[in-house]
Chains A and B, each alone.
Chain A
Amino acid sequence: MSSPIRRVLSSTVGTKLLIGLTGLALFVYLIIHLAGNALIFAGQDAFNVYAHALISNPLIIPLEIGLLLLFLVHIYKAITNYVKNLAARPEAYDKKAYAGHTSRKSVASSTMIVTGIIVAVFLIIHVKQFKFGSYYQTVADAGVRDLYRTEIEVFSNPFWVAFYVMATLLVGLHLRHGIASGFQSIGFDHPMYTRRLTMWSLVLAVIISGGLAAIPVWVYFTH
């Protein structure tokens, strides 16, 4: 037998296992990210204290590298998987219909590759605008970055507000299939909870994408 690691990288199940594991890890990261950023509703000070605590932590660099790796593995495996799956049916059906009944097929599940790629592009812009965006210092402490101000600056532009709302809604769409799918891929199976996963997936997707979208909108209308 070839080495287990190679198998993880190559088999259909191993591939989905990796996509699922990285996807779920990113989902957990997203919850933390949302919770942190929700501090913006608590005002400038609270938000900046949190942001400072985060970026001044020496662990942030390895964590960010880890996060980047998660993204890269997730994206790489998803794209190669998509290409392989296209090859599994070289000749398309003339007519193909939704099977109905218990099928979980949805707009979300059918567009994972599209929403995924758009979200990836969005992320590059997002990181550029914030992590590597305009740098301000807080009035109280010159060593502390006033990220709050950067945020207000970006979201005072209605174009960026609309862009972020659109993007976070696509994140939601991706999550709507992704959460339940991730659990399924890593082999989570329970007679009761599995059925509810799809529902929870939807609920969490709405909360997360709603929460993320609320930030630019709130900023735009209150500043």
Chain B
Amino acid sequence: MTLDSNVPGGPLAEKWDRHRFESKLVNPANRRRYTIIVVGTGLAGASAASSLGELGYNVLSFCIQDSPRRAHSIAAQGGINAAKNYQNDGDSIHRLFYDTVKGGDYRSREANVYRLAQLSVNIIDQCVAQGVPFAREYGGMLDNRSFGGAQVSRTFYARGQTGQQLLLGAYQSLMRQVEKGTVRSLPNREMLDLVLVNGQARGVIIRNLITGELERYAADAVLLCTGGYGTAYYLSTNAVGSNVTASWRAHKRGAYFANPCFTQIHPTCIPVSGSAQSKLTLMSESLRNDGRVWVPKNPGERRPPQQIPEEDRDYYLERRYPSFGNLVPRDVASRNAKAVCDEGRGVGESGLAVYLDFADAIKRLGLEVIRGRYGNLFDMYTKITDEDPYRLPMRIYPAIHYTMGGLWVDYNLMSTIPGLHVLGEANFSDHGANRLGASALMQGLADGYFVIPYTLAHYLAGSTLPAVSVDHEAFREAEAGVQGQIDRLLAVKGSRTPRQLHRELGQVLWDNVGMARSEASLRTALARIPQLREEFWQNVSVPGPKNNLNKNLEYAGRVADYLEFAEVLTLDALHRTESCGGHFRDESQTPDGEAQRDDENFSYVAAWEFQGVGKAPALHKEPLTFEYVKPTQRSYK
């Protein structure tokens, strides 16, 4: 099967307009006859479900949390980009587009990114109208800050809780539709299979997490808005409930998985402190605006940081990247932190941390200014580490944060399964090999509020969708499969917990498919993952009831999927012998140790087709062409 991205023709700036005009529409009176399933209620899911409800579709909105408001988008701290140019500092749609394509290391689709930049301005307007309390200037205008190394101030924010406020805005719109009866909210439900009828996505099998019962839902289209797969690494900045299950089970039904090796490792997280640690906490990237990153010059330095004199410190980011300094993009900052730790110059008990020092900023700006800017982050740091960052430098280390890869979608956000649309972090489309700060929120909301209402209508109006009931054979078969897996999990009655096995898998991935990957490390991982999967199915312990709330059973099912998914992730990393963005291959670097792309051989999207568990997936390629941004070696020197 050839991968057709369905990118419309015409000049870049006119593609989306033209596409909207050329798309088919659904008559308002007919919309309520279409049932749409939306899985996930993060920024993408909540915005999609509410927008479709507003248009009059009959929407079923599912989430695994006990309320749609708790989806993990809520944890995003920094902000949301928009090419408003309110600051008169030279921003434009084209510049946001350019920055995103370049930041993604030329592995994203130009047309998608341009549309994203265009829609970014509408998102802010919509959110303001919803009452999202964005930061304001004294004159009452919206405030902006520069974020993640951008050279213009285009980031809108609501304190350090932008994701929360945007999500609550979308959630409230969703609740409004629930009250109106256009959307049915079904929380505490996990999608465990996708149901295909005549090759079209026509429903889902859901486990009610409270009663343990399996439920069938039929629809005319299914939207997956289920986020990324960072938790495959066990320790990540994702919520402990975030998982790859919905995407993976759709993949097993025929949706291609694109670029799974593009994972983003965030440079400023609080380091790991013990074996019981369940997640890593991100400290907003904005800290790098004033904090200086350093490690001791000499390996094995034992002095506490305040006693290390200036001449024995290595401000390695400022040294290596004089023009961007501490504000280099995430992948660059992360890789450098790993490099200095590998040299034995890491700090803290584990040696897996670097300092982020505010002493100079406090001296220059005063304690109060720093408190005003970062007070809540400093408090959070103190709460977790019991150290005072006003006196001592923070210790930070990179952690898995975001996944650029995801289910393959075309320009209409439709996967390789007709009717299955994938939005937000769950798809692969807009961030290439590396995502810029404050762009995830933008993408989630653009997909949900402004893209899917048009492209879904086009699909519905242009497809033959015979009536399907949940008694259809396909539903029965899918439910039996899901039930079979649950029974198998409960039947093993081994001696190892899902968490132990997940932690082991995470360690294998972090060590071998982490910040730097090599053929040898990837082959090690590929040997180890099937063993772990075997161990899981031989020896996992899932006590407790089947027909009741059983969090351990939910978790075991997710771990089972990580153990299958991890293999594709690793294979993708192995096949892509170039370095680009968050994917760094030791074999492919410039003489001074930067990521070396191989545009001649790898300027494509790698989309993997499922062939069976443990069997090598089939690779399909979608070539990437760059008409408007000429690929260059990224340089932040």
A and B touch in the complex (CB under 8 A): no
Seen from chain A, the residues whose Cβ lies within 8 Å of a Cβ on chain B are none
Seen from chain B, the residues whose Cβ lies within 8 Å of a Cβ on chain A are none
